[in-house]
Amino acid sequence: MMKPILSTQDYQNRIKTILITEEEIQEEIKKVAVKIDALYDGRPLLLVGILKGSFVFMADVCRRVSVPCEVAFMRVQSYFDGTVSSGNLKILMDLDRDVTKYHVVILEDIIDTGRTLAEVLKLLKERNPLSLTLVTLLDKPDRRVVEVKADHTLFTIPDRFVIGYGLDCAEYYRNLPYIAEYNSEE
């Protein structure tokens, strides 16, 4: 379990290295928004963010998409207090609408083991949306234990624990504007 961070210095010391800059993220978001616009122009579109990690990504993609869309959120949890997925998925907040009338685009922060997304995809497919597309900010294929493939991946990363741009470690670091490797050394 991670010790509570008590000072700004301790907080900064946990940032090992920046892997993806804010500028690189924004450039890739522009590209994926263009793809979404092309695919869903004139179609009922529902962007679904998986909370908490995707909230920054979701907001930036939503602002870049120019076609009419609605927004909804699900909240699922598989990391409970550290840097390793527990393997147990818990749905904390479900969608508040019938998805059968929408082309659903899931916006996810990271595909790691695939456990979380496999369950979310299964659940949403059973609800019969017009179509279901998965867009992920980060993909970490070296950690995959359940096969999940995104329709659009912005960045593929090595097997490192990452923070920033919505991703956390014990609820810290979501506010960083970039993706960084977490320094677990105390």
Active site residues: 112
Tell me phi and psi for residue 5, to 5 degrees.
Answer: -85, 125
Rounded alpha-carbon distances, angstroms, from residue 88 to 31, 139, 172: 33, 20, 21
CB 177 within 8 A of CB 165: yes
Tokens representing 2 are 């991670």
Cα separation, 181 vs 54, in Å, equals 17
Cis (ω within 30 of 0) for the bond into 52?
A: yes
Cα separation, 110 vs 183, in Å, equals 19
| C-alpha 181, offset from chain centre | 16
CB 135 within 8 A of CB 109: no
Neighbour tally for 118: CB within 10 Å: 16
